[in-house]
Structure 1
Amino acid sequence: MTSTETTEPTEKAVAARMSTLDRFLPVWIGAAMIVGLLAGRFVPGLNTALNSLHVTSGVSLPIFVGLLVMMYPVLAKVRYDRLDTVTSDKRLLVSSLLLNWIAGPAVMFALAWTFLPDLPEYRTGLIIVGLARCIAMVIVWNDLACGDREAAAVLVALNSVFQVLAFAGLGWFYLAVLPGWLGLDTAGLDISAWSIARSVLIFLGIPLVAGYLSRRLGESAKGRSWYENRLLPKIGPFTLYGLLFTIVVLFALQGEAITSNPWDVVRIALPLLIYFAAMWAGSFALGKGIGLGYERSTTLAFTAAGNNFELAIAVAIATFGVTSGQALAGVVGPLIEVPVLVALVYVSLAARKRFAPEPTAPQSQ
């Protein structure tokens, strides 16, 4: 126990802390993509069957189930009574809010218009990805990189609440208002703020309420120790099960578009690659520059660089249709984000020696 407190984590140590499912996450995601593509191409009537299942108009039942299963365990982990641990750190809080809700959407907006000026559906999909701030997988990346787990959880909670309140308005601004101010062509783009808001409320609001109530009721009935040491380990893996299921369904629905237009996928992937790398590097450097330690600089970087592609996909599907170009752009998101952020876990660990020891670290002889 003491050795883990006094030695910095290595790549082997990080791998040892990961479950088999976590350790081979890129492999499982790649396999899910392949299974989805093959199913969509070769299983007769699958697309028709998937498209016919709806929770309500424009809201796919399989996608809803997959996203609920994926997001609920993450939001059930958040300690909603510990907001003050981050709100008291003004540098971290202000930096995170600015990076997530000012810089991130603006950077993606600029990249989308720079790389996809002639492809409005894909461009709109990328902008939606930029608006969906990360609230799920960031906890995995942050934990593997030995970031501040409590700070990550609180920032996830704040992003969750802020997304419910602000996503629709920001979507309307970046998709309809700002392009008009800049004289950009938005012909044929019909954005309903209510459609976006409805998607956010369904795909984020429901698991957020469920996660909050689970913690409140679970801790009240059996205590925090039971909740975190017995219940959470049991439901935690369902995040990745839900992710893999959702990817299979999405790639089954988008298989025709992906295999028929590989160059379009490359064009979508390039700005995403630049976005994830630039946001992470800039945020990590900012954390160090304003005097945050390694753990909170890492948390700041991953929460700013990651995006909630689950929500982005859900909004794109509900607003524009399950086989739309906007949905395809959202599907390409995890294809790029997962391997890039896994690689950045190791970049973080390699950069750790550039930081002074954490002030709260235990003194050792």
Structure 2
Amino acid sequence: MTRTAEQAVVAKLSTLDRLLPVWIGAAMVLGLLAGRWIPGLGPALDAVQLDGVSLPIALGLLVMMYPVLAKVRYDRLDTVTGDKRLMISSLVLNWILGPALMFALAWIFLADLPEYRTGLIIVGLARCIAMVIIWNDLACGDREAAAVLVALNSVFQVIAFAGLGWFYLSVLPGWLGLPQVGLEVSAWEIAKNVLIFLGIPLVAGFLTRKLGERAKGREWYESRFLPKIGPVALYGLLFTIVILFALQGDAITSNPLDVARIALPLLVYFAVMWAGSFALGKAIGLNYERSATLSFTAAGNNFELAIAVAIATFGVTSGQALAGVVGPLIEVPVLVGLVYVSLAARRWFTTQ
């Protein structure tokens, strides 16, 4: 793909989407300034809870995730599940290699910082379900494949997240003779948060599509309804980031070196997962579109879920939550850059 073609792809996006890194950066700065300049804001926000769950953050997360999950074509799962190469590769990358790699990087780079290390491991367990669809579209990936893989990750996450969290935080360190971090929460507590922050928008998205298509048809639903609710996801994301950074403002500004240390393993993770997955797609004979989809769905993480679980389990001002908050700060610019790398690498697939 030529540079002109790449620019044409980006030009098709709305101004809101094209300037996404700018909006996220502005939200982070706004949150930091609000947290430092408005006395008592952090404690006041932290006090608005229900059963240990921060209501402002819950609102932002649910608003952000719902429009994305409403885009999934739930009736066309078989169009991708029939591609065994794609399905098996995605499952292995997302549920075996991804968590294992993040576990290894967390211990390599953050061995002396147990709270950040635990937060990073939780990030590795939270597989892509939201923003990855945007990166996939920018890279001209297979939209239907992305939707299906995201839907499958969503369902599998509800089922497997609690068990994987117990394994990587409690069991595996013991087997390897590493210091263990106490997980003062039951597997059900983790599953409860997964069900709240993932299950609710998943069910809402499914019902919205089903009822919308039944009432008005798919053409109306996808060409009229989805474009109207699409920007809501970004508003929810920006609102959540402002709240999180307001709560974590002191920790971020007081510990810039810690933030940098959290960022380093994340950079390595994104580079290894994306490049390895992209190369694997080509090696097993996938076309460019599905190779791109495979790579972005494997590299992306659901930081929203990771942050929600970390907050509910360890507290909104914990180091674990800070590790999750740093995630979007690194993911957005890195994956935007990888979109252009992907488009440039498209020429490798011209013979397919």
TM-score (norm 1): 0.94
Superposed, 1:12-27 pairs within 5 Å as 12-27=7-22
Q: Within 1, Cα distance between the matches of 2:137 and 2:337?
A: 14
Q: Within 1, Cα distance between the matches of 2:46 and 2:272?
A: 36
Superposed, 1:189-200 pairs within 5 Å as 189-200=183-194
Q: Within 1, Cα distance between the matches of 2:228 and 2:134?
A: 16
Secondary structure of 2:201's aligned partner: helix
- Aligned residue in 2 for 1:112: 106
- Aligned residue in 2 for 1:69: 63
Superposed, 1:1-365 pairs within 5 Å as 10-54=5-49, 56-358=50-352
User: What is the one-letter code of the residue matched to 2:308?
Assistant: A
Deviations 1:273-319 (A, max 9, x none): 00011100000000000000000000000000000000000000011
User: What is the one-letter code of the residue matched to 2:276?
Assistant: G
Moved more, 110-119 or 40-49: 40-49
Task: Please report how far the alpha carbon of residue 11 of structure 1 lies from its aligned counterpart in structure 2 after TM superposition.
Answer: 2.8
Task: Please report how far the alpha carbon of residue 60 of structure 1 lies from its aligned counterpart in structure 2 after TM superposition.
Answer: 0.6
Q: Within 1, Cα distance between the matches of 2:183 and 2:122?
A: 13
**In the alignment, is the contact (CA less than 8 A) between 1:293 and 1:356 conserved in 2?**
no
- Aligned residue in 2 for 1:3: none
Q: Within 2, Cα distance between the matches of 1:28 and 1:313?
A: 20
Q: Within 2, Cα distance between the matches of 1:44 and 1:134?
A: 36
Q: What is the Cα-based RMSD across aligned positions, in Å?
A: 1.3
**In the alignment, is the contact (CA less than 8 A) between 2:2 and 2:344 conserved in 1?**
no
**In the alignment, is the contact (CA less than 8 A) between 1:109 and 1:174 conserved in 2?**
yes
* Structure 2 residue ranges without an equivalent (≥5): none
User: What is the one-letter code of the residue matched to 1:268?
Assistant: I
Task: Please report how far the alpha carbon of residue 189 of structure 1 lies from its aligned counterpart in structure 2 after TM superposition.
Answer: 4.3
Q: Within 2, Cα distance between the matches of 1:222 and 1:189?
A: 48
Task: Please report how far the alpha carbon of residue 192 of structure 1 lies from its aligned counterpart in structure 2 after TM superposition.
Answer: 2.5
**In the alignment, is the contact (CA less than 8 A) between 2:170 and 2:181 conserved in 1?**
no
Moved more, 349-358 or 317-326: 349-358
Identity %: 81
Task: Please report how far the alpha carbon of residue 9 of structure 1 lies from its aligned counterpart in structure 2 after TM superposition.
Answer: 6.7
Secondary structure of 2:296's aligned partner: helix
Deviations 1:166-224 (A, max 9, x none): 10110111001111111110154434212211110100000000000001111111111
User: What is the one-letter code of the residue matched to 1:42?
Assistant: W
Q: Within 1, Cα distance between the matches of 2:156 and 2:4?
A: 33
Secondary structure of 1:326's aligned partner: helix
Moved more, 40-49 or 321-330: 40-49
**In the alignment, is the contact (CA less than 8 A) between 1:176 and 1:191 conserved in 2?**
no
Task: Please report how far the alpha carbon of residue 13 of structure 1 lies from its aligned counterpart in structure 2 after TM superposition.
Answer: 0.7
Deviations 1:329-364 (A, max 9, x none): 000000000100000000000000011355xxxxxx
Secondary structure of 2:65's aligned partner: helix
> Cα 1:74–1:357, aligned 2, differ >3 Å: closer, same or farther?
farther
**In the alignment, is the contact (CA less than 8 A) between 1:10 and 1:349 conserved in 2?**
no
**Structure 1 segments of 4+ aligned residues over 4 angstroms from their partners:** 6-9
